[in-house]
Amino acid sequence: MIHVQQFHKTYRDTVAVQGLDFQVNPGEILGLVGPNGAGKTSTLRCVAGIIPPTSGTLLVAGHDIVADPIAAKRKLAYVPDDPKLFDTLTVWEHLEFVAAAYRVAGWQQRGEALLHRFDLSAKRMTIAQELSRGMRQKVAICCAYVHDPQVIMFDEPHVGLDPRGIRTMKDSILERVKLGASVVVSSHLLELVEDMCTHLLILHQGRSLYFGRMDEARTAFAGLGGDASLEEIFFHATEGSAEKAESGVS
């Protein structure tokens, strides 16, 4: 569903991502982790077609995001870390707008189910500027699901959510994956990534330090035991020990 090959992104003289390769197949959840400035958000925004890559190939459901952006974007949804809603639209009007943009017919029943699931039914006629940060995040997630995307990317999806909201968000992602969706979750909350994700991509200074299965990450770096936590793997990889990686290193 997602295929990225030799992806580079620069901003004038600043190199954000260099030579990145990874893929996410149907039924997989990729955890994207790295320090601030590692290139995570740049990668997501380029795959989503929001900003152009400097070079490389980025395919979404077989469609090149640069050469065929409309076809690619029909298949994906992206929930940024700070969703920008329309302040004067109600919760329901946001779903209606997204359904119209993607030309989704008969979306209303799905919309009602999403509002109920994310505890937004009572807020359906509330305008966005009156919503809390967590409720705005829930609205963005509901909007992402309206057109039933095959590829879903989340940038810090837990921000603003209470424990119940986080649980609902996690359960909804796992259900989508069981139906064959491909998901990318970028988060600094390593416990969330470790708990949910089947695969792991560690970025540092725009480069991949590890890409592979989550359950193989513990053995990819020399000196870590088989019971090492993702936190231990993360610090081992990003704080000077990445050169000791035995596999999965770009």
Does the pTM exceed 0.85? yes
The answer to whether the beta carbons of residues 142 and 97 sit under 8 Å apart is: no
Give me the pLDDT at residue 233, please.
Answer: 87
Which pLDDT value is given to residue 247?
42
- pLDDT for 241 equals 44
Average pLDDT over residues 225-239: 82
Mean pLDDT of 13-34: 95
Q: Rounded to whole angstroms, how far apart are CA atoms 124 and 6?
A: 44
DSSP summary character for residue 127: B
pLDDT confidence of residue 237: 87
Could you tell me if 16 and 205 are in contact, meaning their C-beta atoms sit under 8 angstroms apart? no
What does the pLDDT read at residue 229? 86
Q: Are 204 and 20 in contact (CB under 8 A)?
A: no
Mean of pLDDT over the chain: 91
Domain ranges in the chain are 1-75+151-157+182-250
Across the range 223-244, mean pLDDT stands at 73
Closest CA to 23 of 5, 39, 46, 10: 5
Question: Is residue 77 within 8 Å of residue 151, measured between CB atoms?
Answer: yes
Work out the number of other CB atoms within 10 angstroms of the CB of residue 107: 19
Question: Which residue has better confidence, 229 or 218?
Answer: 229
Contact (Cβ atoms closer than 8 angstroms) between residue 167 and residue 138: no
Counting residues of the chain whose pLDDT is more than 70, the rounded percentage is 94
**Strand 29-33 relative to strand 182-186: parallel, antiparallel, unpaired?**
parallel
Rg over alpha carbons for the chain, rounded to the nearest Å, is 18
When pLDDT is cut at 50, 70 and 90, the band that residue 215 belongs to is: confident
Residue 86 has φ and ψ, to the nearest 5°, of: -85, 110
Q: What is the pLDDT of residues 187-214, one digit of tens each?
A: 999 999 999 999 999 999 999 999 999 9
Q: How far apart are CA 59 and CA 69, in angstroms?
A: 10
Residue type, 221: F
Lowest pLDDT segment from 65-74, 78-87, 236-245: 236-245
Per residue in 96-121, pLDDT tens? Answer: 999 999 999 999 999 999 999 999 99
pLDDT of residue 226: 65
The more confidently predicted of residues 247 and 134 is 134
Q: How far apart are CA 41 and CA 54, in angstroms?
A: 15
Domain 1-75+151-157+182-250 architecture: 3-Layer(aba) Sandwich (3.40)
pLDDT in tens, 151-192: 999 999 988 899 999 999 999 999 999 999 999 999 999 999
178 exposure class (CB count in 10 Å sphere: 0-12, 13-18, 19+): exposed
Check whether 66 has a pLDDT greater than 60: yes
Q: What is the pLDDT of residue 228?
A: 79
